[in-house]
């Protein structure tokens, strides 16, 4: 394949591999802005907010499922892959939206939910009715209840089984998720061809790629006789090839919460599979680090997820639309995170996670919020912001399961937070209390230079000017203090350095930058004017306030003049 590795990639590729230095923003059209006053957000509303997003500085939108759907799992139960849910608009509105985004230099990636369909999908309806239908084999059936039916549920506590009997089919069908989401038989070549067709369709309508849902399950073998699914990694290469043949710079961002020793199977040794993956390993250990004020496991998670092809990239996130899954931490670590951020049973979900949004988890403490986001923007990879987090939006725990963190965007102090003119929003707008739209909304934060929104805009602007984070190699420096993380990135003859103090009290740390010939003697602070000069032994001493952070350029601000092309 084309040589994409390390030093041989030229300056040109910085522009081509756009996702390596992008700012993703994830949103759900139904809860963003409602232009036609029926209480449900729509594409026309979203279009009116493109200038807001442009001003915030994000460069790519990850749009959650918007296709036709009965809506029993936030749209992750699709009943027609080739149509927009009428509540959100038409295909015409969708194309206007992708065009409007493109005009502002914003790319759009959309969810590709092909592990399962809705049980209302005509494919499933026909499959259950007619054993001779070609769609019968598009799903996974068993005449009798397989012995492992009580295993492998993704939503334990809510979902009771992975095999449910269908009275019409007179057979059991497999569903990794809820029972209204029958799994597609993804090993069937016809299903595989249909998946490509779905990708081709949306690519043609202007999207730049896909956030692929539940990848390990899509590629895992399925069937009544399968006790331990085997991943068919080759499928990933076919998807990638097809996409790249159609539109060269489109990408797949994989949702795969897997162990680090299989990461390379997903990226492909030659970078020939998924372009991006969410870094769940770093995510969970980051929350542990915040809870325990101990960064050692986080550094370990970063080291373990370091190997990746040069064209591969991590998606770095704090919270998303799902629960904060802590399933990969040890029991003791998980208890520490629960105690710090979700001590009540009602904060927790599926025996493994926390369903709260970030701001309430951190007690609305501005210092901790800045620390967390500063980390998200400086850990190795590409940051993924969740809508509303730029305002510090909260959650509504009276709503079931994960819906608590999926409330409408809070735009202003107008009724319903300016989300809709209807008095019946699809999900209640958070009102009253510290996180109500009366206090937390975009309009007021725009006016206030010290608001979280304006902080976020400034940090995003700075992040875009530090491509070393997305492209470079990192090294964790020894600060002799487990509460303080020091990271250096090197790329094209330049280095940057970041300090984060996870402790609530101030810490003074001493460290060497680790570069030869005194090249690390001057650290120019990018967010404030407290630069640092090394002592005669090339060591720096920096005093960080509680939850304090620093972004430094190593050397001086002439880095662009010094930057090499290889
Ligand atoms: C993914 C989505 C989640 C959804 C599930 C089933 O895990 O992130 O929201 O419920 O897939 O599609």
Dist. CA 77 → ligand 1 center (Å)? 9
User: 234-238: long-range contacts (C-beta < 8 A, 24 or more apart)?
Assistant: 235/186, 235/192, 236/266, 236/268, 236/273, 236/274, 237/268, 237/272, 237/273, 238/192, 238/196
Report helix angle 296-304 to 280-292, nearest 10: 170
CA of 402, closest atom in ligand 1: 9
Residues 267, 225 contacting (CB under 8 angstroms) = no
Q: What backbone torsions phi and psi does residue 562 show, to the nearest 5 degrees?
A: -90, -15
At residue 551, the 3 state secondary structure works out as strand
Residue nearest to atom 9 of ligand 1 (CA): 322
1 confidence band (pLDDT: 50, 70, 90): very low
Residue 4 has pLDDT above 70, yes or no: no
**Nearest-angstrom CA–CA distance, 392 and 413:** 15
CA of 73, closest atom in ligand 1: 10
Dist. CA 214 → ligand 1 center (Å)? 7
Residue 390 has pLDDT above 50, yes or no: yes
Residue nearest to atom 2 of ligand 1 (CA): 213
For ligand 1, mutation pick of 213, 277, 349 (most atoms within 8 Å of CB): 213
Q: What backbone torsions phi and psi does residue 230 show, to the nearest 5 degrees?
A: -110, 130
**Nearest-angstrom CA–CA distance, 215 and 219:** 6
Dist. CA 204 → ligand 1 center (Å)? 25
Query: Residues enclosing ligand 1, CB less than 6 A?
Result: 73-74, 76, 113, 177, 213-214, 255, 321-322
Kind plus residue range of the DSSP H or E element containing 266: helix 263-267
pLDDT at position 14, please? 79
Residue 189 has pLDDT above 50, yes or no: yes
| Average pLDDT for 20-44 | 98
Dist. CA 8 → ligand 1 center (Å)? 38
For ligand 1, mutation pick of 66, 70, 76 (most atoms within 8 Å of CB): 76
At residue 488, the 3 state secondary structure works out as strand
**pLDDT tens per residue across span 237-284:** 999 999 999 999 999 999 999 999 999 999 999 999 999 999 999 999
| List 73, 111, 119, 255, catalytic entry | 255
Kindly list the distances between the CA atom of residue 528 and the CA atoms of 140, 487, 532, 552, in Å, as whole numbers in the listed order: 58, 18, 11, 10
Residues 295, 282 contacting (CB under 8 angstroms) = no
**pLDDT tens per residue across span 127-184:** 999 999 999 999 999 999 999 999 999 999 999 999 999 999 999 999 999 999 999 9
| Active-site residue, 213 included | yes
């Amino acid at each position: 394949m084309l040589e994409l590795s390390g030093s041989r990639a030229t300056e040109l590729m910085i522009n081509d591999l756009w996702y390596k230095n992008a700012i993703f923003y994830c949103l759900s059209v139904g809860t963003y802005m409602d232009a036609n006053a029926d209480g449900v957000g729509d594409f026309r509303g979203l279009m009116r907010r493109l200038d807001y997003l442009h001003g915030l500085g994000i460069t790519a939108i990850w749009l959650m499922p918007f296709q036709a759907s009965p809506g029993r799992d936030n749209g992750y139960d699709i009943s027609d892959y080739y149509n927009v849910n009428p509540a959100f608009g038409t295909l015409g509105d969708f194309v206007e939206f992708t065009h409007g985004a493109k005009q502002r230099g914003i790319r759009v990636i959309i969810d590709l939910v092909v592990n399962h369909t809705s049980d209302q999908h005509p494919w499933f309806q026909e499959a259950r009715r007619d054993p001779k239908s070609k769609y019968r084999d598009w799903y996974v059936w068993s005449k009798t209840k397989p012995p492992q039916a009580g295993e492998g549920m993704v939503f334990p506590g809510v979902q009771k089984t992975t095999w449910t009997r269908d009275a019409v089919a007179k057979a059991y069908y497999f569903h990794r998720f809820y029972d209204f989401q029958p799994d597609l038989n993804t090993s069937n070549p016809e299903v595989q061809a249909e998946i490509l067709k779905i990708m081709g369709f949306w690519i043609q309508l202007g999207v730049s790629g896909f956030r692929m849902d539940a990848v390990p399950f899509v590629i895992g073998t399925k069937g009544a006789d399968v006790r331990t699914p085997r991943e068919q990694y080759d499928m990933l290469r076919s998807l990638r090839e097809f996409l790249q043949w159609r539109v060269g710079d489109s990408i797949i961002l994989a949702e795969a919460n897997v162990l680090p020793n299989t990461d390379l199977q997903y990226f492909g040794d030659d970078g020939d599979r998924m372009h991006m993956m969410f870094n769940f390993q770093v995510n969970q250990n980051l929350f542990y680090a915040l809870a325990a004020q101990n960064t050692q496991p986080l550094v370990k998670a970063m080291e373990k997820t370091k190997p990746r092809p040069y064209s591969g990239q991590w998606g770095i996130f704090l919270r998303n639309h799902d629960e904060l899954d802590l399933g990969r931490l040890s029991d003791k670590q998980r208890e520490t995170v629960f105690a710090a951020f979700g001590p009540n049973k009602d904060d927790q979900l599926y025996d493994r996670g926390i369903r709260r949004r970030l701001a309430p988890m951190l007690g609305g403490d501005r210092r901790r919020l800045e620390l967390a986001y500063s980390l998200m923007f400086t850990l190795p990879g590409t940051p993924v912001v969740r809508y509303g987090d730029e305002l510090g939006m909260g959650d509504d725990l009276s709503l079931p399961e994960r819906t608590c963190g999926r409330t409408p965007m809070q735009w202003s102090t107008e009724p319903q937070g300016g989300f809709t003119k209807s008095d019946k929003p699809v999900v209640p707008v958070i009102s009253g209390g510290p996180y109500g739209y009366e206090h937390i909304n975009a309009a007021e934060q725009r006016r206030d230079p010290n608001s979280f929104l304006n902080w976020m805009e400034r940090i995003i602007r700075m992040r875009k000017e530090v491509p070393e984070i997305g492209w470079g190699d990192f090294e964790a420096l020894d600060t002799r203090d487990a509460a303080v993380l020091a990271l250096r990135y090197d790329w094209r003859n330049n280095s940057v350095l970041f300090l984060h103090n996870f402790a609530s009290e101030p810490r003074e740390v001493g460290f060497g930058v680790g570069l030869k010939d005194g090249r690390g003697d001057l650290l120019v602070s990018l967010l404030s004017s407290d630069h640092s000069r090394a002592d005669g032994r090339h060591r720096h001493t920096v005093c960080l306030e509680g939850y304090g952070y620093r972004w430094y350029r190593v050397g001086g601000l002439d880095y662009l003049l010094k930057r090499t092309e290889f």
